[in-house]
Amino acid sequence: MPVPETTEARQAPPLHAPILINGAEAEVIRALRRQAKISRTEISNITGWSKAKTSLEIRSLVTKGYLVEVGEGSSQGGRKPGLLQINDQLGYLIGLDIGATSIDVVLANVGGKVLQRRTAVADVRQPPEEFLSRCSELILEMVKAQGCRIDQVLGIGVGLPGPVDFTHGVLIAPPLMPGWENFLIRDFFQRTFSAAYVVVDNDVNIMAIGEQRAGDGMQVDHFIFIKIGTGIGSGIVSNGKMHRGSIGCAGDIGHICVDKQGPICRCGNTGCLEAMAAGPAITERAVQAARNGSSPLLRHMMENNGGILRPDDVNAACREGDQAALEIIRASGQMIGDVLAGLVNFFNPSHIFIGGGITNFGNHLLVSIRRAVLQRSLPLATTHLSINFSRMGPEAGITGAVALAREYLFVMEDRPFSIV
Ligand SMILES: [Zn+2]
């Protein structure tokens, strides 16, 4: 005798990310990554399915509660098509952008719309348990303010300032934060947010993802995002996908050698690009210029600053037309451009986006980078190459962190570790 179905038995179990879907469902979800709302006809055009099959697959996703019908699209003649989007009510996502001295965290719906944001000053050299507990507190504050449950948090995307083994979600030999070596960041968050899938990536990769999802990189299939700040790194998008390499450290260009006789880098080698051209190298040269008399302006600034100079001071000196400061920035841009030229020859991107704290140096830096790239790259590689500052500013990282969490909300049931 069949057991009568109880109400409890019919109720869908609470969701747990990643949500497993089959190949056909994945095609629909993939189409929705490119546009937030989509009509049946558009899905049919993208997938090549018949109307009947498209309706069947959509009905399956709507019945499961993953998709909902919203509003109406514009008509191409005839009845206006109903639009479909991912069901915002499925749950929430967290984007967490961890800097050397800051935490930036947002709570978004599964559609990627940011609902709340918190920022805090913090020192990443703290032990990871302490640092991440502060992050968890901020997330819990937002969950409470949103009036949702902890188990409705379905994804957490984390960006960290260090080399990340992407598969395992751990940092490997991070120069800035040695106490984090092999610390299980994913397990840490999943103890509190048990329904969430936690994805950990490095800070530059999440900026590249942000640029791709919401910036000028939206329609660009091959680009490099370079971050210049205290360090230098890059994120590579190839064929429209993030290229992380076999372990996750693709794009770590800060440690390419530009001068074997150069200063010792924090990685232990000598003359790395980062040690020669990033923020600390710029201020170091500015201090020298102040001391050796080649820049009276920088000396004046240093005296007024209690004996120190910051990158912003060098920037201000550039704006005043100080020749020594301009030369320092040009030299930095030249070295970065020389390394980028090699990458351009090797990878042939159509765009290079530059972000990070040094971007406020403006045109002097950009012009020297462009000049070096054009001088040293093959003409064919630079014919249509665009090199510009990212217009997203600090939003690139946090946007990318949410997008990363969103990418792993749905995965294919037969390939659970590859995103849809
Ligand atoms: Zn190095």
Band of the pLDDT at 414, cuts 50, 70, 90? confident
Per the rule left: phi > 0, alpha: psi between -120 and 50, beta: everything else, 252 is: beta
Rounded to 5°, the CA angle 377-260-310 comes to 85
How far does residue 175's CA lie from ligand 1's centre (Å)?
Answer: 10
How far does residue 347's CA lie from ligand 1's centre (Å)?
Answer: 22
pLDDT > 70: percent of the chain: 93
Q: Is the pLDDT of residue 250 over 70?
A: yes
Task: Give the model confidence (pLDDT) of 52-73 as tens digits.
Answer: 999 999 999 999 999 998 877 6
pLDDT at 7: 37
How far does residue 392's CA lie from ligand 1's centre (Å)?
Answer: 27
Phi–psi pair at 372, nearest 5 degrees: -65, -40
Q: What is the mean pLDDT of the chain?
A: 91
Q: Is the pLDDT of residue 10 over 80?
A: no
Per-residue pLDDT, averaged over 21-47, amounts to 88
pLDDT at 8: 36
Q: Is the pLDDT of residue 344 over 90?
A: yes
Q: Is the pLDDT of residue 278 over 90?
A: yes
CA distances from 319 to 238, 356, 362, 375 (A): 37, 19, 10, 26
CA distances from 386 to 73, 219, 227, 232, 390 (A): 35, 14, 16, 20, 11
CA distances from 60 to 21, 44, 49, 66, 85 (A): 11, 15, 15, 9, 14
How far does residue 76's CA lie from ligand 1's centre (Å)?
Answer: 57
pLDDT at 412: 86
How far does residue 263's CA lie from ligand 1's centre (Å)?
Answer: 10
How far does residue 113's CA lie from ligand 1's centre (Å)?
Answer: 38
Retrieve residue 211's tokens: 């640029």
Please tell me the chain's helix, strand, coil percentages from 3-state DSSP, rounded to the nearest 5: 45, 25, 35
Lowest mean pLDDT among 17-31, 159-173, 230-244, 351-365: 351-365
How far does residue 237's CA lie from ligand 1's centre (Å)?
Answer: 23
pLDDT at 31: 85
Band of the pLDDT at 362, cuts 50, 70, 90? confident
How far does residue 256's CA lie from ligand 1's centre (Å)?
Answer: 7
Band of the pLDDT at 297, cuts 50, 70, 90? very high
Retrieve residue 391's tokens: 């217009």
The H or E element that residue 407 is part of is helix 395-407
Band of the pLDDT at 80, cuts 50, 70, 90? low
Per-residue pLDDT, averaged over 207-231, amounts to 95
pLDDT at 78: 62
